[in-house]
Every structure is written in C-alpha cells, then in structure tokens.
Structure 1
Amino acid sequence: MSVAGLWNEGRAVVENLTLTAGEPTRTVGSDDARLVVLGHCLAAEAELADCLRTVTRTRRLDANSSAWPGCYSLAVLFPHELLLLTDPVGQFPWYLAPVPGGQWFGSSAVDLALRAGARVDRDRLAMVIACDDVLGLADNGTEFAGVRRLPVGSAVTVNSSGISVTPCGGLDVGVENNSDDAAERLRESLVRAIDARTGNGRPITGDFSGGIDSSTLLLLALRAGVPVSGFTFQNSDIEAEDDLVWARHFAAQAPGLTHHSVVATDEELPYQILSGPGEQPHPAALAAGPLRARLRLARDHGSTHLVGEGGDLVLGAPPAYLADLARQGEWAALWQHCLRWGRVRQCSPLSLLRRALAVGRVSRRQALRALATEIVLAAPARDRTAWHLGAIGYWEQPRGRWLTRRARTDLADHVHALADDRQADPADGLGVADAVTLSQLRTQVVAERAVRATGREFGVDVHAPYLDSDVVRACLALPAWRRADPAVAKPLLRTALTGLVPDSVLTRTTKGNYVRGAYAGVRRAAPALRGLLAEPVAADHGLLDPVPVRAVLDSAVQGLPTPWRAFNQVLAVELWLRDLTAKGLLR
C-alpha cells in the first residue's frame, strides 16, 4: 500500500492518514500511537508490537528499531508528533511536501505532488537525462519541486518545534579491511534473509537465470525444505542459450527444485510496451517483457518471488576501482588487474593503467567542475568511445547535447554548486569506486521499485534479498577495490557461501548477453518509438533537443553501436511525462 498523511501544524495533530494500493505495508496500533511499516520487514507481529511500546515510551526511533531482516522504513504517529525512520538502502523512501499550515508525508512522491499541487522540477529531469549517475546531485530531491525525499538512514521528527533529521543506521562504506570478516557478515546476513522468507513454510518462486546471484538465492531457499520453483527465460532465436544450459546444470544438482523454462515471444522483446514507468522515470519498464513472462507463470506456484537484482552491484566493483588501487599505491595489484581487464575487454593494459593513474590524480571537486564544462558545451572534454575512458571514472560521459541550451546551463550551475559545497557532498572521503557504487545503488533501488510494481500486477510479492539492509551493509563495508578480482567472479560471495552452495554455481565465469535482444526489440518497435520522439513532451517543457536522440534511434535500428542506458533514460523521462499528463499532473 502507499502511505499518505498530513501533519497539521496549527492543530498539532497527524490526520488524514490513508493507505492505498502500492508498496507492502503493515500497521500496528495502540491507544495513543500507530506504527506503519513500509517495505519488506520480516519481523513477527509481536516484535512490531514490542517496538511500538518501546517507541511510545522513549519517543524516539533508532537503529534498534531496524534490526530485523529485510529492508523497510518506519513511521510512528502520535497525537502531537510524527516519527519517521528511513531505510539505509533507499528501497522504501519517505517523502515530505509542505503545504500551508502543515506537511504532507508519504511513500509516493507522485501522490504527494498531487495532494500538494507541486509542479515538475525541470532541473531535476535535466539531470536524469544528462547525468543521473552523479552522486550528491539532487540526491534528496524528487522530480517535483517542493517534494523532497528524506535522506536514507535517517531518523526524522516532525512536531510543533519543526522538522529535525538525524543520521541513524546508515551505511558505513569502505570501513572494513578484512575480507574474511566481511564474508562472514555476508554469509550470516544472506542466510538470515532467506530463512526469514522461508520460515512460514510457504512455496517460494524465483528467477533462475543460471547466473550466480539468482541461482544462489533459490539454492539457499531449498535448505528450508519448502517447495521451490525457478524460472528461466529462454529466447533461442535472439540470445545465446548459455544461461539456459547453466540453469539446467544447476537444477540437476538441486533435488527439490522445480525448474521451468519460459519460452519467449516477440512480445517480450524490449520496447514492446511503451507505458509510464511509474513512480520515477526509470527505463526498467522498457525491458520488462521477460520479467512479466516469468511472473505470469510463477503466480501459480507461490506468492513470494526472489530476484537477484542488486547482486552485481553489491558483490562486485565498478571498473573505477582501478583508480583506487592507484591511490592506495597497490602497484602490483593494479598492473595485474589491468592485464586481466585488457584480456577481457581486448584493449591495451597500458591504456587502462594510464587511465587509472589519471583518474586517481583528480579530486572529485575537480571532476565536478570538468563535468559542468562538458554539460554546458554539449561536448565531452575528450573522446570516451574507448571502453576504459567511460568505465574508469567518477561517472559516465554526460549527455549534454541532448538537452536544450537553457537546460544545459541551469544543470551546469547545479553541478558547480555541488563542487563548491563540500558539506553537501555525500562522496566526500570515499574512494572513486565506492562513490560510483553508491550512485548505482540509488538507481538500482528505483529499478527494483519498478520490478515490485510489475509483481503486484500478477499478485506476486517480489523480493530482492541482495538489497536487504544487512546484506548491503556487509558488502559495502568492504572497499570496492577489495571486492574486485577480474580472475574470480564475485569473490566475496564465493568466500561467504562455500559449503552452502555448490562450487559450480559460485565459480561460473560467464554472463548472459542481452544486447541482441535490444537491437531486435528496437527494430520491431521503431515506428512507435519514432512517433514518441516526433513531438516529445520533454521538448515542450524546454528540456530535450529531440534531434540527436532521433539520430541515436536511427543508428540503433541499423544495428550500429548504441548508448543503450542513456537512450533508454530519455525514453523513460518522455513516457513518465506523458503518464503525468494523463493523470492531470502537468499543466
């Protein structure tokens, strides 16, 4: 359910609390207080009742209030006070929107914008189009002016004295130096996450791609003795069958696992469903066909579905970690990693080394100022077509040329402001790759929100255990450069689960390639996509210059190299704006 309530300052009461269809929600009430749990909280009802009694007595939410497995945010409503606790990962955010005489609070920015009469924030959408991977740039903003997301890992008090925000239970990134200790924490937290979801004895379903992440989750679930069904998407006409071969191999080693192959049709290709992406403009909905096909079958076998989303992010490291190896003076490791990456990417290890050294010498403030210049000039400071130039850095190449001149100028001003305000920079003191990881985590949880929404269409509760609070804490406590090994896939998970999961699962080194499906989908949907970009709403709002975006579409249809993530982000913004227009939120 979505949650919305109004804090009325004049009367000093919380009123108009409503629960509507949306994210998973639980409530517990007493004579003078009410606890609302938003998200995947795997605590028993008695534990929630104990929590409410404790908070009623102490009048505070703290880290002890979020010690249960899962990932969730809390709200406690008293007659004269509102307490909010946000999850440390950002999966289930709380939002605030001021109105005359009070504050709306809730779990949906779109819902609060409608209630508060907020308008779309053009600068925020420009950031989403051009440089959505810059940590700290409007992190606690939303796509609506005046509606703000409360910081992750925070305790918030709203009363007659005002609003106070205190860090509480957040992520401690890069503080662990012992890989074995981090692996032990990961083992404990991941086993606890799965046990909590299987403890009721009900059947479990899940994605079973044959990859390390999803396969591991279902094999851990089998330990509980509950019925477990895995679903592998199969499109032999488009993709290599590598995933299906591995999935069948793993299933043969797992008595008790029921394996289903989901045969694809052209309707499941990317871009076949051009609908609004939901709460935020994210491209996950553009390629939801395989997920929908799996869930359509999975709903007949269980109501809790496990997915491996987030595994690549928290268990691995972005290539930017090479710059951190240079900063740490780990010269032998840096050269060995450059050699291995060079073989994988078929590029010169010397080029990788030079890029790592160059990025390692640049401060984030310097990088932000260079980014602002690239945006306003609508051209990169240097050619980043080579893989290592785009992958080893603080962020990807910005898409400034896709914005109008005014939108570029305004966005560049925001980037300059972030560079000048050290106190507002959440990446201050972090390694390059750790900052990149946190930025990717921010977008990953938005994608997972879209996945959960798709699950609700089929009556299935979709869970991503790798995005549970304790699992993310265990992984990200280890610096990214210590999580990386080009010779071993996800070494942290391998160390953590050896003995619990077959070695063949933990040692798979290949990964499915889905690019051919993207090209097939864009060709099939080309007429609809051209219609979408013929008169885009984003251009009407002074955001988008559609000419270069249309050129990217034409190149993709011809099978030429395509910046898929950036292109999909533009489509997501356009579809999101059209959806708001249909809802009457755009005037």
Structure 2
Amino acid sequence: MRWFGGFTPGGPTRSPEGARLIWSDPPLWAAGDWPERYVRTAEGNGRRLAVFGPCAASSHDLDRALYEPGPFGAGRMWSGSYAVVRQGQSGDTEIFTDPASALPLYTTRFQGGTAWGSSSRALAALGSGGIDTAWMAAFLLDRQNPAPRRSAWAGVAPVPAGSRLLLKTTGSASVTSWWSPSRRSYEEVVPLVAEALHEGVRARVEGVKVSSDVAGIDSTTMAVLAAQHGLVLGLTAHPDGVTEGGDMRYARQVPGLDHAEFPLRRSHLPFTPADLELPATDGPAPSSGLWASFSGQLLAVADRGSFCHLTGDGGDNLFLSPPVHLADLARSGRWVRMGRDALEWSQLRRESPWPLVKAALSGSVARLHRPWMTRPQWLTAPTAEPVTPPRDADAVLIADLRGAARAAAADVELAAALGLELANPYFDGALLDAVVSVPAEDRFSVRRYKPLLVDAVGGHLPEAHRTRVAKGVFAGDFHRGVRMNLPYLLTLADGRLAAAGLIDPGPLRAALHGVALGARAVWPPLLAALTAEMWLSAVESEKPVRWSPAREETR
C-alpha cells in the first residue's frame, strides 16, 4: 500500500510500520514502494520541501518553491498530479493539495494533534477504524459527490482540493483555498492545454516501460503523446470473436505503437467473480464490478513488461460538456445563443428542446446536468448532509472532474495491488486550470467532438481519430453480466448495507431482476449499491494498517 503523510509539528511521534522517514520534527513519511521520481525534495536556509506524485517541475522549480508564497516556484502550475509539503524556518508545515482531487489528502485528530495523509483507510487505523455510515448513505444517493466534508471512514475528513493545510508549531491546523478558476480566451488556452498534456504524460513515462489503452480519442491521445518518449504497448479491448470495426478499426490506424488486443470473454463480463480477490482501497473503486476484466487487462500489460499504464479517464469530464451553460446564457440574457444551442442539442439527441429551455430559464443547472438524478427506491438511510448543487457550468465541470478523480484514486490503488502504476493525466490540476478558464459557451459544441482537445493535440492523431465522434460502448455487457451473475448479485443486495439499515434489499433485488430481463436501467445508483457492497467485503477481510513510534533517523 503506497501512501504518505505526517503529523502536526510537536505532535505524536508515530509512523506506519515499514514507512520510510523523509524527515523528522515533525515526521514526514512515505509508505510502500515509491519510485524515486515521485518523491522529490529540496532544502535551503532552514526550509524544506517535498513533492509527492508525478510532477513535471524541474529541480530549479523546486528550489524556487522553497521561498515562494504559493506552492509553485515558477508562478504557474506545474503539470502532474501531486501534493506539495513545505516546512518553513519557523517549523510550521504547509501542505498544498492538487486542484483536481486526483491525489486526495485527509486529516484526523490523534492524541491532541493532527495526523494527515493520502490514505483515509490508514488514518482510520489510528482511531476506531469504522465506516462512516453517513458518508455511505450519501454515496448511495450520489456516488459522484458524496458528503464533501466526510470520508468513507469515521473520524477522517478530506482536505478540500486546491487547498492549503497549515499545521503550526502551536498544534493548530487550518485550511484555506489557494486555487480558484481564472478566465482566459479560447486562443490563449489551446497552447496551455497542449503543454499540460505533453508535460503531464512526460512526467509519468520518461525512463519507464509504458502501456496505454487505445480506444477512443482520449486514451489514443495518451498513447501517441507517450510514444514521443519511447515504445508504447497499446492495448485495445474487444468482444471475443469480434476483431473488426469499432475501436479495433481506429486502434490499428495509430502508427508507432506495439499493438496488443484483449478479447473480452464471458469470464470478463461485469460482476463476474475474478480469480484474484478485490483488494481493499480507501473507498469504493469504480472498477470493482469490472474487476475480472480490469485486472485481466492490467496483468496482460504487466506480463509484457509495462510499469506504467495510461488511461483516458477524465477526458469526457473535461472536454465533453453537457448543455449546462444554457442556464448561464439565460441568466445573462443571451437568448439567441441559448435558443440555438438548445435546439442543436435536442436535434442531436432527437428529443424536444423545451425541457432544456425550461430548465435554463428557471436556472436549474442540476436538471441540465443530470436530469436522471433521483433518490433510489432502495435507499432507506437519511442523507443529513445535503450537497450544494453546482451554480453554473464552471462549477459543474470542476465538480464532475473532482468526483471522477477522487473515485479513480481507488482504481489506482487496485492497479498498485497488482504492481502496476495506473496513470490518469486528464485529472491533472494544470489541465483543469486551463480548461475551466475557457468561457463555458466556447467549450460547448454539437458541431465538433471535443474541439478543445483536438485543437490542442489533434495534430498528433490520425485524421480518422480527429474526426471520430463516438467510441465503443459496453452497456449490453452490463445487462449480460447481471443476467449471468444474478444469484451472486442478489446475495449482495442482502449483504452488509442491508444489515446496517442503509438499504431495503427488496427494491434493489427487484431492480436487479428487471435488468437481468433487459429492462432499461439508471445505472449510477445501482452501481453505487453494488460497488459499495463489494468494497465493504474487501475491507472487512483486509488487515488494518499498523502504526508504531516514529524512527528518529532521516533519509
């Protein structure tokens, strides 16, 4: 298990067993197998700095950051997904979280001080180690944005993304924001997006053997950018026996890759038990129900020598905007543009534009964003901590990306349990900073597919990929997976969530029977319940992290 953390200056001298001490007084440690390039330090004039995670900063950048008021020595955000820890001459410690929440940090109170770290499960072992049922109820309602001031573990709180956690020698801890969206023109942002993607990929792939998904435009972009630094193994999944068309046709047009194909067999259908047990993670992992195919694909590239596997996760969140900007246009009185975009979107979806117009005029961003969002019938637990809905298109983009990035951190843990580094450059803070600075109406288009991404890096892609407007989907596989594994899934419905009084298993079983018969399903709440149950089983069988008094020697 790979993570890092520390304590309040002057607080308890504790560390997780087996951790490597980066510095002491206060202790800062790295637990697990960390590549040297992902733990970088700088020192000077009584100041210390450490950067954890993939980061494109140079050594000169780190030296400058020792003295800057913010987290970055060059004044502009470095590419990558990382956290910055800095200790000043006074002994106070600052921890800067990334804006996209791809590397979540947490805190908990312990023996009168504050412990912090990148693993909520590890910090929970300092206390009761129990599950936070209020967070779980919120997750079952909305797995994308559950209880923002809670984690899956009781007594462990998340540090907000884009924040500065200040731990003072007096023992106090405070959190302030260091990042907020800015505004730039489309023309200004195109080269920034290109730089963020190039540098984010470089920070992960230089000097190591790399593989990448090659399917839609997002993952293919990762593959071709990584190929600028060495040979890339490009993996494309396809239904067993179907080797033409779909993603396969596009993947074979990408030059310069070592192409590999992964046939998805019956044993890889969603919810099919895998040969390997699902590892315990900080929270429910999105790929839990796909563990048979997910682990199979990761092991396939690892067997070919890959150390780092790139994905296109997050590309849709950044570059495929839903029509939430219609409410912004209505609010500012730009009726002609609002009407035109609503009509074009409705024509694309072959539906009436009037629900869109009504939602825009009433300012209902939520209905424009996720109109299917309702409370599932099986959720019985109250959700006492309401989540403030996004107020505009920028807030929707930020919330969407952060929710996906936080969830993907658990998938990174799953891959790490197999000895493979899972890399998601679309969740980088510098990329979010660039994309969200473009006016929302300029990010939206029904005439072009992901225009900002194509304008930034499309020149590296074959023409067929630049003009592609869709990618392979596997919705039918989920129905077949439920049908084939229905007895197993019904036992999940009667499992730990039901025993805790969080759900009523009857409606959940009825929904599963309906899906098995081919009924149309609203998948997010159904997947939330199944994923949560799988996760509870995994953490129940895993031993908690053990803590010991911190060692006094430094690295």
Which TM bucket (shorter chain)?
0.7 to 0.9
Shift of 1:561: 0.7
More helix per residue: 1
Identify the match of residue 207 of structure 1 among 209, 213, 222.
Answer: 213
1:308 matched residue in structure 2: 312
Percent identical pairs in the alignment equals 28
List per-residue Cα deviations over 1:403-452 (Å, max 9, x = no partner): 22xx22xx2x432xx6xxxxxx694xx41x33322222222113321332
CA distance in 1, matches of 2:279, 2:467: 39
CA distance in 1, matches of 2:291, 2:338: 38
CA distance in 1, matches of 2:240, 2:341: 34
8 A Cα contact 1:182 1:475, kept in partner: yes
> Which stretch shows the higher mean deviation, 514-523 or 455-464?
455-464
CA distance in 1, matches of 2:12, 2:296: 50
Mapping of residues 326-337 of structure 1, within 5 Å: 326-337=330-341
Mapping of residues 442-461 of structure 1, within 5 Å: 442-461=402-421
Q: 1:398 to 1:14 in 2, by over 3 A?
A: farther
2:110 matched residue in structure 1: 99
CA distance in 2, matches of 1:122, 1:197: 36
2:482 matched residue in structure 1: 522
TM-score (norm 1): 0.80
1:227 matched residue in structure 2: 231
Q: 1:195 to 1:124 in 2, by over 3 A?
A: closer
8 A Cα contact 1:8 1:15, kept in partner: yes
Could you say what the CA RMSD is over the residues aligned between the two structures, in angstroms? 3.1
Mapping of residues 268-417 of structure 1, within 5 Å: 268-273=268-273, 275=278, 278-299=281-302, 300-358=304-362, 360=363, 362=364, 392-393=368-369, 396-399=372-375, 401-404=377-380, 407-408=381-382, 411=383, 413-415=384-386
8 A Cα contact 1:8 1:101, kept in partner: no
CA distance in 1, matches of 2:11, 2:251: 60
Where 1:166 maps in the other structure, the secondary structure is strand
8 A Cα contact 2:61 2:72, kept in partner: no
8 A Cα contact 1:104 1:116, kept in partner: no
Shift of 1:84: 1.0
Identify the match of residue 50 of structure 1 among 63, 69, 85.
Answer: 63
Shift of 1:117: 2.4
CA distance in 2, matches of 1:40, 1:150: 20
2:223 matched residue in structure 1: 218
Shift of 1:234: 1.1
Q: 1:341 to 1:521 in 2, by over 3 A?
A: same
Shift of 1:276: 5.8
1:372 matched residue in structure 2: none
List per-residue Cα deviations over 1:269-292 (Å, max 9, x = no partner): 111138366211243221244433
2:8 matched residue in structure 1: 7
Identify the match of residue 53 of structure 2 among 32, 39, 57.
Answer: 39
Q: Is 1:86 aligned to residue 90 of structure 2?
A: no
CA distance in 1, matches of 2:224, 2:286: 30
Identify the match of residue 508 of structure 1 among 455, 458, 468.
Answer: 468
CA distance in 1, matches of 2:112, 2:421: 37
8 A Cα contact 2:72 2:78, kept in partner: no
CA distance in 1, matches of 2:126, 2:12: 19
Where 2:54 maps in the other structure, the secondary structure is strand
Q: 1:191 to 1:584 in 2, by over 3 A?
A: closer
Q: Is 1:552 aligned to residue 555 of structure 2?
A: no
CA distance in 1, matches of 2:470, 2:87: 50
Shift of 1:495: 1.9
8 A Cα contact 1:277 1:283, kept in partner: no
CA distance in 2, matches of 1:91, 1:73: 10
8 A Cα contact 1:27 1:34, kept in partner: no
Q: 1:498 to 1:109 in 2, by over 3 A?
A: closer
2:248 matched residue in structure 1: 244
8 A Cα contact 2:55 2:200, kept in partner: no
1:385 matched residue in structure 2: none
CA distance in 1, matches of 2:42, 2:71: 19
Q: Is 1:125 aligned to residue 96 of structure 2?
A: no
Shift of 1:461: 1.9
Q: 1:7 to 1:186 in 2, by over 3 A?
A: same
Shift of 1:528: 0.9
> Which stretch shows the higher mean deviation, 85-94 or 14-23?
14-23
Shift of 1:541: 2.1
Q: 1:273 to 1:36 in 2, by over 3 A?
A: farther
CA distance in 1, matches of 2:202, 2:538: 39
Shift of 1:22: 7.0
Q: Is 1:579 aligned to residue 542 of structure 2?
A: no
TM-score (norm 2): 0.85
Q: 1:240 to 1:529 in 2, by over 3 A?
A: farther
2:549 matched residue in structure 1: none
1:382 matched residue in structure 2: none
List per-residue Cα deviations over 1:317-344 (Å, max 9, x = no partner): 1233333333343433333333333333
Q: 1:105 to 1:306 in 2, by over 3 A?
A: same
2:523 matched residue in structure 1: 564
CA distance in 1, matches of 2:137, 2:478: 25
Q: 1:526 to 1:43 in 2, by over 3 A?
A: same
Where 2:317 maps in the other structure, the secondary structure is helix
CA distance in 1, matches of 2:209, 2:62: 27
Q: 1:196 to 1:575 in 2, by over 3 A?
A: closer
Q: Is 1:69 aligned to residue 79 of structure 2?
A: yes
Identify the match of residue 116 of structure 1 among 119, 127, 139.
Answer: 127
Where 2:81 maps in the other structure, the secondary structure is strand
> How many correspondences in the alignment?
523
Shift of 1:16: 5.8
Where 1:283 maps in the other structure, the secondary structure is coil
CA distance in 2, matches of 1:466, 1:15: 33
Q: 1:4 to 1:355 in 2, by over 3 A?
A: closer
CA distance in 2, matches of 1:324, 1:133: 23
